[in-house]
Structure 1
Amino acid sequence: MFTAIALCVAVFLTTALLSDNLPSGPPDEGELPGMARTHDIELGVAVAVNPLVHDGEYRSVITEHYTSVTAENTMKWQYVQPQRHQFDWSGPDTVVGFAESHDLNVRGHTLLWHNQLPSWLAQGSWSQDELRQIMREHLRALLGRYKGRVSAWDIINEPFEDTSPHLRENLWYRVLGPDYIAEALSMAHEIDPEARLYINEFGIEGGGDKADALHTLVEDLLQRGVPLHGIGFQGHFVHGNVPEDLADHMRRFTDLGLEVSVTELDVRIPEPSREDALEEQADEYRRVVEACLDVPRCVNVTVWGVSDQHSWVPEWFPGYTDALPFDEDYGPKPALSGMTEALSRRPSQRRPHP
């Protein structure tokens, strides 16, 4: 009799303890940032300048739920240097100033990319020495201005072709050759030796030829002593296609001594989005955050947009919607509870960040 009672009590206590650790709804104000810091990771969000300045609800979602920000567009080349030698710091200063005033870290995005280049640069005819000087001037201006204020930079963005393991023949590759990657990383490190320097790529989250090619490139860079500190797994997913083995593919790069981050997370759903799809999306967001928690050198999960009102998805992927944890009216969706559930687990023993 005593054994049976003791067993019942043990079951009751275990159930109570487990229920205490599981979120029953959206997190309370300020809860998620504290949970992320307990796990020693950043929980970030991409931000745009106009709503950051003019929309109080937009700002509240950021400050109440995240610990870092990434400039969605305003630090890209066409906005920072629209004309040669003419820099526009209004947008980047707004993002960095907002972050500093709210104790948020900043990820810089992005330095060398094949898209969103100003016409003077993209349509110019450059010698190697000329383009190398342009690259150095731009990196010195941008990284130098925010030295010590931006903790990590996507120096190289999407260096591989969309669906193949071959390096993309962008402006930098055509003029400088494949070693433009090493040159840019080395320049950036000279300008800001404390910043964490990243290669940021999509389509590598589930492994495959493209991920293998990136791994080979990274091994070569590290063997040559090129300053590279992290790999960004962008994480633009289609509902139903979030890989179960994401953590394993992250570990391939952390095993080389690098850190990794999920840099641009969203999970787009085909229209019309059903309630069961939103619940399944919550599980997908949970699994992505848990993958980061399972990899000791995963240091950041950044969601690519504050709300569905500001998502890039409908414009670029017609027929898809509801990609983010907040709806168009800033209401929390099940995806937010999915992230909360992942962060609610007991903190594991994670190696200190380098």
Structure 2
Amino acid sequence: MVATRAPQSSAGPLSRRGVLACAAALTATPGWAQEQIALKKAAFPIGACVQALHLDDQALVDLLQRQVSQITAEWQMNMEYVIGPDGGFQFDAPDRIAAFAQANAMRLFGHTLVWYAQAHPAFETLDETRIGFGDAYRNYILAVVGRYRGRMSGWNVVNEPVTEMGDGLRESLWSRRLGQLEHMSLAFNTAREADPTAALFINDYNLEYFPAKRATFLRLAERLLASGAPLTGLGTQMHLAADLPRGSVSEMMRDLASLGLPIHVSELDISLVRADNKALGRQELQRRQSALYGEVAEAFARLRPNQRFAFTFWGLRDRDSWLRKENATDTPSPFDDLGRAKPGAVAIAGVFGI
């Protein structure tokens, strides 16, 4: 997912609280912040993604226990993991993550059921003399959601359904076999059948960069609701670059809020190396990263309380971020490699009043 520069926004500046929080963050030292901050004291859930192997790292476990109140499986509840090479289901890793969440009184969020980018060979080579494609699709969702019935705060039911530039909906094995809107409606209805209490989301990225994509995303939500699908929330991933123009996030959040549904900041990180403006030095990018973390927090805090579903980081420490695989010099997370709070975490804490 490549973040691309958006046009300058006309949205207004941060509130006085947000400006003061960002200013404090820029002068804070990691040692001071590490001792002071507990993000999970926010008035809404603070989340982070994990892999099962992360739970062997006691330093990270300690940080998670101090900072978060919700856990998302980074990829081990995805089809690529759950369906094994032989076509059978494997739940060892997601079960371990679920057990960790339960043992630590954390909410558990499911990611993801249907994704255009993942179609397991078991579906591509399905013998329809034994089971129809639609039945196999339903059975998969029933099995995965049903396994964690009553334990999930919510699921990303459909992930990244809108094309890169927002000119339509993505094609996939699922859309070709079951229909573009129909496969999504079927997924939502099946997930609700499997778990009557979990919140059910569509989730996408670059909604703050491309207004056209955001508009298509919102139209899709309206179409799903009109079809009777039990869509109950909107997920905005927010894989950002540090040079995102000020106001872009606030404008996006206002647009998403217009439907009245709960909003999940679902995969937040802020890359330095993905910044388009190569003339900016690293120190300036770090300053902008901290300010942008504060702006995201400010935009989320402005939502009505019933729309603030959760605020989730995609990698709590720099060393655990997926972006490190792209570039080992990137430092996109709110905590450094050693788990010390960076100025971005200080900014967030200031905005959230914790």
TM-score between the two structures when normalised by the length of structure 2: 0.83
Closer/same/farther in 2, CA of residues 90 and 243 from structure 1, 3 Å limit:
farther
- 2-structure distance, mates of 1:334, 1:255: 31
TM-superposed CA distance for 1:310, in Å, is 1.4
Q: Which residue of structure 1 aligns with residue 353 of structure 2?
A: 344
Q: Which residue of structure 2 aligns with residue 311 of structure 1?
A: 321
Question: Which one of 226, 229, 232 corresponds to residue 226 of structure 1?
Answer: 229
- 2-structure distance, mates of 1:300, 1:273: 33
- 1-structure distance, mates of 2:128, 2:240: 37
2:34–2:340 contact (8 Å) kept in structure 1: no
TM-superposed CA distance for 1:246, in Å, is 2.4
TM-superposed CA distance for 1:49, in Å, is 0.9
Residue 186 of structure 1 pairs with residue 189 of structure 2: yes
- Amino acid corresponding to residue 77 of structure 2 in structure 1: M
Question: Which one of 34, 38, 63 corresponds to residue 31 of structure 1?
Answer: 38
- Amino acid corresponding to residue 234 of structure 1 in structure 2: Q
Q: Which residue of structure 2 aligns with residue 321 of structure 1?
A: 330
- 2-structure distance, mates of 1:273, 1:328: 21
- Amino acid corresponding to residue 334 of structure 2 in structure 1: P
> Helix, strand or coil for the counterpart of 2:59?
helix
CA deviations on 1:266-325 (whole Å, 9 max, x unpaired) are 000029973342232111111111111101112211000131211111324x48611111
Closer/same/farther in 2, CA of residues 164 and 31 from structure 1, 3 Å limit:
closer
Structure with the greater alpha carbon radius of gyration: 1
Q: Percent sequence identity over matched residues?
A: 29
Closer/same/farther in 2, CA of residues 254 and 266 from structure 1, 3 Å limit:
same
- 2-structure distance, mates of 1:44, 1:81: 26
CA deviations on 1:146-175 (whole Å, 9 max, x unpaired) are 011011100000011222321111111111
Q: Which residue of structure 2 aligns with residue 274 of structure 1?
A: 282
Equivalences for residues 1-354 of structure 1 within 5 A: 25-26=32-33, 28=35, 31-34=38-41, 36=42, 39=43, 41-52=44-55, 54-83=56-85, 86-122=88-124, 130-178=132-180, 179-241=182-244, 244-270=247-273, 274-296=282-304, 297-316=307-326, 318=327, 321-344=330-353
Moved more, 90-99 or 114-123: 114-123
> Helix, strand or coil for the counterpart of 1:106?
strand
CA deviations on 1:226-268 (whole Å, 9 max, x unpaired) are 1000110000001111651423433333332311111000000
> Helix, strand or coil for the counterpart of 2:176?
helix
- 2-structure distance, mates of 1:29, 1:142: 39
TM-superposed CA distance for 1:78, in Å, is 1.6
- 1-structure distance, mates of 2:141, 2:86: 13
- 1-structure distance, mates of 2:245, 2:266: 15
- The runs of 5 or more residues in structure 1 that have no matched partner are 1-17, 346-354
Closer/same/farther in 2, CA of residues 224 and 321 from structure 1, 3 Å limit:
same
- 2-structure distance, mates of 1:138, 1:243: 42
TM-score between the two structures when normalised by the length of structure 1: 0.83
- 2-structure distance, mates of 1:84, 1:257: 43
RCO higher in structure (CA 8 A, sep ≥6): 2
- 2-structure distance, mates of 1:58, 1:273: 30
1:143–1:188 contact (8 Å) kept in structure 2: yes
Closer/same/farther in 2, CA of residues 29 and 119 from structure 1, 3 Å limit:
farther
- Amino acid corresponding to residue 259 of structure 1 in structure 2: P
> Helix, strand or coil for the counterpart of 2:311?
strand
